[in-house]
Amino acid sequence: MQFVILTGASRGLGAAMAAQLLSPSRQLVCVARSPNEALATRARASGARLDYRLCDLADATGVTRLADSLGQALRSAGGVSRFVLINNAGAVEPIGRIETLAAAPLTAALQLNLAAAMLLTASFLAATDASGAERRVLNISSGAARYPVAGWSAYCSAKAALDMFTRCIVAEQASRPNAARACSLAPGVVDTDMQASIRAVDAADFPSVERFRKLKADGALGAPGEIAVRIVAYLERDDFGEREIDDIREH
Ligand SMILES: NC(=O)c1ccc[n+]([C@@H]2O[C@H](COP(=O)([O-])OP(=O)(O)OC[C@H]3O[C@@H](n4cnc5c(N)ncnc54)[C@H](OP(=O)(O)O)[C@@H]3O)[C@@H](O)[C@H]2O)c1
């Protein structure tokens, strides 16, 4: 049996990955601030094991509580051959030149896009260290981690740090007996609420907005269901983790 934790499962890419991952052979633990009724209904109908946690990952205290509770669930899970953590929850806001960003949303963005993933990974690795089972961490990154975008300094910086965090995990795990594998994977441009909110931003705050409006108009965005199928297949690969920084568009 696999034990999979997935953040940001209420909508967008996360909801599509959750739908793919739902299976009687997996214990799936989902996290978001809002529920996913369609997923719950499918889990009940198929007999799949779904545990859905409501948590604001931009709130450090809530994340600490969640990490402790997930640690207990991981430690008490029996018959698990592979533990998986997918840090997918994220937000592109706040958007604008750095001198226009207020402290609270800036701090919340770093907490959500970076610190929450680090804390959940820490708890995941500690709780599964002695399990003897295979362990995989998939961080959902972005092309924006790898090139600068004017107006997205909070998002680009957090995702770039998430990439480096992934490389650090791999370096730390290299000398461990049951080394966990990790990968920071960019999903491409996907047709989700995040893209809708990007297209709605004023060009004064985000000079490249027209490029994103054109991508939508040209039908160039990936469908969440299709990208989710490819990411879940990528996660299952025998060579998962050999490339610590990757992009699903290259596969
Ligand atoms: N869409 C793209 O083109 C694109 C491109 C590159 C990278 N990505 C990355 O792909 C991942 C998924 O993005 P998406 O496009 O699916 O975004 P989305 O449609 O906006 O969905 C974001 C998910 O994250 C959750 N989330 C947001 N803030 C949260 C918070 N404070 N606490 C807990 N959960 C929170 C949301 O759930 P609730 O609102 O219910 O909490 C939702 O499930 C993100 O990491 C994003 O950076 C997306």
33: phi > 0 → left, psi -120 to 50 → alpha, else beta; which?
A: alpha
139: phi > 0 → left, psi -120 to 50 → alpha, else beta; which?
A: beta
Global pTM exceeds 0.85: yes
Q: What is the pLDDT of residue 45?
A: 93
Q: How far is CA 87 from the centre of its chain?
A: 3
CB 21 within 8 A of CB 28: yes
Q: What is the pLDDT of residue 73?
A: 98
CB 227 within 8 A of CB 195: no
CB 26 within 8 A of CB 51: no
155 has catalytic annotation: yes
Tens digits of residue pLDDT in 118-150: 999 999 999 999 999 999 999 999 999 999 999
Q: What is the pLDDT of residue 31?
A: 98
Q: What is the pLDDT of residue 99?
A: 98
Q: What is the pLDDT of residue 88?
A: 98
Tens digits of residue pLDDT in 17-45: 999 999 999 999 999 999 999 999 999 99
Residue nearest to atom 8 of ligand 1 (CA): 142
195: phi > 0 → left, psi -120 to 50 → alpha, else beta; which?
A: alpha
Instruction: Give average pLDDT by consecutive 10-residue segment, the chain, 251 residues.
Output: 98 98 96 98 94 98 98 96 98 98 98 98 98 98 98 98 98 95 98 98 96 97 98 98 97 95
What residue type is assigned to position 241 of the chain? Answer: G
Ligand 1, atom nearest to 224 Cα: 16
Please tell me the distance between residue 251's alpha carbon and the centre of ligand 1 in angstroms.
22
Q: What is the pLDDT of residue 57?
A: 98
Q: Is 132 exposed, middle or buried (0-12, 13-18, 19+ CB in 10 A)?
A: exposed
Q: What is the pLDDT of residue 150?
A: 98
Annotation: CATH topology of 2-188+224-244: Rossmann fold (3.40.50)
Q: What is the pLDDT of residue 8?
A: 98
Residue nearest to atom 25 of ligand 1 (CA): 8
Q: Using a 6 Å cutoff on CB, does residue 117 contact ligand 1?
A: no
